[in-house]
Amino acid sequence: MAVLLGEIGKVELRRTSADEPITGTVKQSDVNPSKDRFSFDYPTGLLITGDQAEIKTTDGSLLSFVAASGWPTAQVYRDGIFYLYVDEIGAIRLYSTFDEAIAGETTGRIDLVDPGRDVPISVQVRNSNERMLGQVRSYELNTERDVIDATALSDEFKRSYSGLISGSGRLVCFFDYERRSDDSSLQSGVEMPIYLNQLILRTRTGSELWAKLTLVGRGRKPGGTVDDFDDEVWYEFTGRITNVGMSFIPDEPIEATVDFVTTGEIKLRTRYTTNYLLQEQGDRIRLEANQSGYLELEQQD
């Protein structure tokens, strides 16, 4: 019997939004080409740093305040998908990648130009990538099924039927609010715990998320063999954050406790994979990727 430790688990999140696009008008005076930032009238909290958003004009014109260099083809279009950096006063800067948007530096910032007119736009949050949540200390997920009592007056024994399944849980993580370039523990694509605090405060966009809670991750397993390296077991669900608490103790790290409920189907999924191909005679061929990205075949002794 293998004893699995929690250290092989992890939490991945994807921001979700089922709300209508945010509409507004970017006035000519709202675009600052020297600072590469713009603004428009939208409720505070709807957009946060790291959001991937589709920005398009509502009158069919070109998105003229974004320089041509902001598109891969170096041509201005009516719409585009960008990552947002939102500063303290609500002004927006555009980036091509999530990590550059989180940093908010000049590196990777998309150039803006004077549009010469007011531009009506709509902004729809579209975050399709899963990102690992950093600094997680623990998590739990509870699932339960409602029981419907169907006992009638003349029954000798109690009868019941299965009802609907629901879930709830809790995340506990050490609080952090930025990624530092010298912190090797927070690699590219890692979400900061402050995002969960920001998410519950969003007004119209809501506190929805898609989560992947890994019970058994890729890597060596206690009591396992080399063939078990790629095996995974995880939960998948969509949920809504219901509570965020912060714990402040003078001589201990700040912790954030996040409660959530599931809002749809809960899946317990498994993946059993191997790095070997089996031959007809029972021998195995190991697959390895070289530096060029090609697979190399190595005959197993």
- Of 2-16, 115-129, 167-181, 189-203, the poorest mean pLDDT is in 189-203
* Mean pLDDT, the chain, integer: 81
pTM over 0.75: no
pLDDT of 142 reads 93
What is the 8-class DSSP label of residue 99?
Answer: H
Instruction: Please indicate, yes or no, whether residues 98 and 181 belong to a single structural domain of this protein.
Output: no
233 lies in a domain? Answer: yes
Instruction: Please indicate, yes or no, whether residues 176 and 242 belong to a single structural domain of this protein.
Output: yes
299 lies in a domain? Answer: no
Instruction: Please indicate, yes or no, whether residues 121 and 139 belong to a single structural domain of this protein.
Output: no
41 lies in a domain? Answer: yes
Instruction: Please indicate, yes or no, whether residues 239 and 141 belong to a single structural domain of this protein.
Output: yes
CATH no. for residue 238? 2.30.110
Instruction: Please indicate, yes or no, whether residues 95 and 137 belong to a single structural domain of this protein.
Output: no
pLDDT of 39 reads 92
Round to whole Å and give the CA distance between 272 and 282.
Answer: 19
Collapsed DSSP state (helix, strand, coil) of residue 70: helix
Write the pLDDT tens digit of every residue in 50-96: 888 899 999 989 999 999 998 888 899 999 999 999 988 889 999 99
What is the 8-class DSSP label of residue 6?
Answer: G
CA distances from 27 to 42, 71, 106, 114, 119 (A): 13, 22, 23, 10, 6
Instruction: Please indicate, yes or no, whether residues 141 and 209 belong to a single structural domain of this protein.
Output: yes
The range of the structural domain enclosing residue 193 comes to 6-13+132-146+163-271
Q: Classify residue 77 as exposed, middle or buried by CB count within 10 Å of its CB (0-12, 13-18, 19+).
A: middle
Round to whole Å and give the CA distance between 242 and 208.
Answer: 10
Q: Given pLDDT bands bounded at 50, 70 and 90, which one contains residue 288?
A: low
φ/ψ of residue 11, rounded to 5: -125, 130
296 lies in a domain? Answer: no
Round to whole Å and give the CA distance between 157 and 267.
Answer: 34
Instruction: Please indicate, yes or no, whether residues 237 and 184 belong to a single structural domain of this protein.
Output: yes
Instruction: Please indicate, yes or no, whether residues 137 and 102 belong to a single structural domain of this protein.
Output: no
Q: Structurally, how many domains does the chain consist of?
A: 2
Instruction: Please indicate, yes or no, whether residues 267 and 168 belong to a single structural domain of this protein.
Output: yes
